[in-house]
Structure 1
Amino acid sequence: MMVPEPHNELAAELWREASLRQIVHLSLGGARLRVRVSNAFGTTPLFLEGASVALAKAPGRPDIDGGSARALTFGGRAGVMIPAGAEYYSDPVALEHKAGADLAVSMYFKGEPARQTGHPGSRANSFVTRGNRLMDAAWPEAAKVEHWYMLADVEVQAPPSVGAVVAIGDSITDGNGSTTDGNDRWPDLLAARFGREGQAMGVLNAGIGGGRMLRDGLGPNLASRFDRDVIARSGVTHAIVMIGVNDLGGQHRNGDDTRDNRKKILDDLMMAHRQLVERAHAQGICVIGGTISPYMGSDYYRPNVDNEADRQAVNDWIRNSGVFDGVADFDAALRDPAQPQRLLKERDKGDGLHPSPAGFRAMADAVPLAALRQCSAAR
């Protein structure tokens, strides 16, 4: 969750006496679920007049299986007032679904919020239509918008033995380079890999495009949002942290990469990672460190040899410091063996920075499932 930039906000008139339908891809199958609605960045109370869930006909379409539609309630009531800065759970509803199902979450509003909470990088289409259309199977006149709003989580009831892993990071985790409505971000493909191997595991994507560890970007810095986006989420047993390219690249791009500043940012990145791990371990959550992928070919950051040396220094520390409970070597999965400072061509979106869908598959395959199975951080 973050504050959408002005050009990513939902237009005020589209909130007024309108229904918003958002399609999300579930990593866990089950029979009961609940939805978490977010007003985390709101400055005034959010008034949700009604909500529902249903199985979507397909990603990228507003139509639902009408027989699966379930009204959501909050303390038994259809509507709810969510205070500024808060997030509220719906009451659980019975809805049989398989792992990998597409769920439509519909919300009805009478007016726009004073400040929106959302996620611009949805890589999924949402739909808006006039009136209270929560239970309607078809929305033939719906407008399409490629963002999510006010929707923090869908939680599936599962046995205590089933854990959840949060993938947290920047645009590479958020899915820049994946296909719209294709559900082929690397966390999506990790969830599919769990399914192929017969392991039930929730997978949560907490990537924010432009995100940094140490300073706010398009959203809050990762160190500040780690508690809300990882520790406070239900059933979390593991986190995979991949962050740093925007910290290092941004410093170089801004011309702040003197010798002293370069040393300081490396020290600060390492300290921040240690702090995340300490906080996670205190709650029994294991942390997998993700190495920073190559970006020497990026026209946006235009890194030089010093910038590349700093990336390598962070990666060597992630691999060898012993701070983490395991390592996902995304660098090794994505780099060109002949030019290891660059992405392999077929795993490059084309900008020298973000992976392609093939690159995301390689990333999902690089996650060490053995470390996820074996690690159990002491509370």
Structure 2
Amino acid sequence: MRSSFLLTAALLLAASPAAAAPTCSWQAAWASAQMAPEGNNVLPAGTLTDATLRQIVRPSLGGKAVRVRVSNVFGRAPLTIDAASIAHAAGNDSARVRAGTVRALTFGGATGVTVPPGAEWLSDPVTLPVAAFDDLAVSIHLPADPDGQTSHPGSRATSWIVKGAATAAADLAGATGTDHWFQLSGVDVERCAAPGGVVAFGDSITDGYGVKPNTNARWTDGLAKRLGGRAAVLNLGIGGNRVLLDGLGPSAMARFDRDVLGQAGAKHLIVLEGINDIGVLTREQPATPAAHRALVAGVTGAYAQMVARARAHGMTVHLATIMPFASNAYYHPGAAIEADRQAINAWIRTAGNADHVIDFDRIMRDPARPDRLAPGYDSGDGLHPSIAGYAAMAAAVDVAALR
């Protein structure tokens, strides 16, 4: 009788959730928003012909295996990559990698891949233990220039280019540095813990305007440090981006599915975008009262769309208020523009429109002149935060709401 009882108890214990092995899944650890580069951000013709491109990225989540996502979203023709690798970088300011860490990447078992125009492609998984905030070097060899580059110009990180096939090399002697990312949109890790990724979706303030290369001083970097590797913070900002219309990069609404809903394991969305929509309205000439009303309705309507679509994918949505910029010389906003900002922020703060509100406006404004950034948080242009301002933004986020 006693042996039967013990056997039954053992079987129940083995079947209980507490005794089950943890579920492992792929989770985005680093990501970057893609666009077609313009002007000086475009690599000169022939730069990537028979060239190895080594790019340094810093995931904010660790795992036991990795996979890489290459991108040809803005390509006009198929993109051929004939070799690729991933390794631990020796540092984030050189092309060197740590000895013994280079892992060749494959795609469906093949050493190379041809990515259709408008598409992205995941590599096969490769075993490479990664800790949060390890610098990784992703190397690809391209036999020919992409027909239409896909890029993230505001990388605030140095990438390295050298002629020839050198994806397995420990260093790239004679490599040329460029502070942009190309044809690379994500790194996922395999992790045996519940997913909780945070997508930071925005414009240049999220992208990190004013942050020097390789210093990792964006507000998203500070937030990731506060989360301590428990969840990834994925920076999907684009400098100059707008909510409603294309400008520098596709609009927030146009890129939402790829940049937000396409991130493996993302459970939280932070939206900080709209300042460029507001500023552009009257930059060249005054706007009618009807145009101001339409702008407010358009931006808040887009926010509502983002909230609904993110919630439908099981995400919690945190809307951030738009910070003041009355002293910015580029947009030279007047009273009507400030009224638009206040109206949009009032909508964000209205209960029920989001799951949580991050009131960056309250934290960052000058108490004496609330239509302007506080002097200590102003980079000098009246719009973008200083490094101290970015740190204050990171500190203002309620990390308990991200758990």
Instruction: Please say whether Structure 1 and Structure 2 have the same fold, judged by a TM-score greater than 0.5.
Output: yes
Query: Following the alignment from structure 2 to structure 1, what is the Cα–Cα distance between the partners of residues 111 and 358?
Result: 43
1:22 match = 55
Cα displacement string for residues 285-332 of structure 1 (whole angstroms, at most 9, x for unaligned residues)? 111001111111111111112211211111121112421010111112
Structure 1 residue 256, shift from structure 2 partner:
4.5
User: Mind listing any 5+ residue stretches in structure 1 that lack a counterpart?
Assistant: 374-379
2:218 match = 185
* Contact 1:66 1:136 survives alignment (8 Å): no
Query: Following the alignment from structure 1 to structure 2, what is the Cα–Cα distance between the partners of residues 321 and 225?
Result: 27
Tell me, what secondary structure is at the counterpart of 1:339? coil
User: Mind listing any 5+ residue stretches in structure 2 that lack a counterpart?
Assistant: 1-33
RMSD: 1.1
Structure 1 residue 336, shift from structure 2 partner:
1.4
Tell me, what secondary structure is at the counterpart of 1:157? strand
1:128 corresponds, among 161, 171, 186, to 161
Q: Which has the larger radius of gyration?
A: 2
4+ residue stretches of structure 1 with deviation over 4 A? none
* Contact 1:179 1:357 survives alignment (8 Å): no
Query: Following the alignment from structure 1 to structure 2, what is the Cα–Cα distance between the partners of residues 227 and 109?
Result: 28
Structure 1 residue 162, shift from structure 2 partner:
2.6
Alignment map for 1:184-333 (pairs within 5 Å): 184-195=217-228, 200-333=230-363
Query: Following the alignment from structure 1 to structure 2, what is the Cα–Cα distance between the partners of residues 60 and 147?
Result: 13
If the length of structure 2 is used for normalisation, what is the TM-score? 0.90
Query: Following the alignment from structure 1 to structure 2, what is the Cα–Cα distance between the partners of residues 241 and 176?
Result: 17
Tell me, what secondary structure is at the counterpart of 1:108? strand
Q: Does 1:334 align with 2:367?
A: no
Query: Following the alignment from structure 1 to structure 2, what is the Cα–Cα distance between the partners of residues 263 and 159?
Result: 48
2:106 match = 73
2:41 match = 8
Structure 1 residue 38, shift from structure 2 partner:
0.4
* Contact 2:195 2:266 survives alignment (8 Å): no
Structure 1 residue 238, shift from structure 2 partner:
0.8
2:194 match = 161
1:367 match = 397
Tell me, what secondary structure is at the counterpart of 1:156? strand
Structure 1 residue 134, shift from structure 2 partner:
0.8
2:135 corresponds, among 92, 102, 113, to 102
Tell me, what secondary structure is at the counterpart of 1:165? strand
Query: Following the alignment from structure 2 to structure 1, what is the Cα–Cα distance between the partners of residues 304 and 395?
Result: 25
Q: Does 1:356 align with 2:386?
A: yes
Query: Following the alignment from structure 1 to structure 2, what is the Cα–Cα distance between the partners of residues 194 and 64?
Result: 27
* Contact 1:124 1:180 survives alignment (8 Å): yes
Query: Following the alignment from structure 1 to structure 2, what is the Cα–Cα distance between the partners of residues 105 and 271?
Result: 39
1:377 match = none
1:45 match = 78
Tell me, what secondary structure is at the counterpart of 1:68? coil
Structure 1 residue 159, shift from structure 2 partner:
2.7
Cα displacement string for residues 85-114 of structure 1 (whole angstroms, at most 9, x for unaligned residues)? 110000111112221111111110111011
If the length of structure 1 is used for normalisation, what is the TM-score? 0.95
Query: Following the alignment from structure 1 to structure 2, what is the Cα–Cα distance between the partners of residues 345 and 105?
Result: 39
1:82 match = 115
2:12 match = none
Query: Following the alignment from structure 1 to structure 2, what is the Cα–Cα distance between the partners of residues 223 and 12?
Result: 31
Tell me, what secondary structure is at the counterpart of 2:145? coil
2:208 corresponds, among 175, 198, 214, to 175
More deviation, 210-219/345-354: 345-354
Structure 1 residue 160, shift from structure 2 partner:
4.7
Structure 1 residue 128, shift from structure 2 partner:
0.3
2:25 match = none
Query: Following the alignment from structure 1 to structure 2, what is the Cα–Cα distance between the partners of residues 171 and 310?
Result: 20
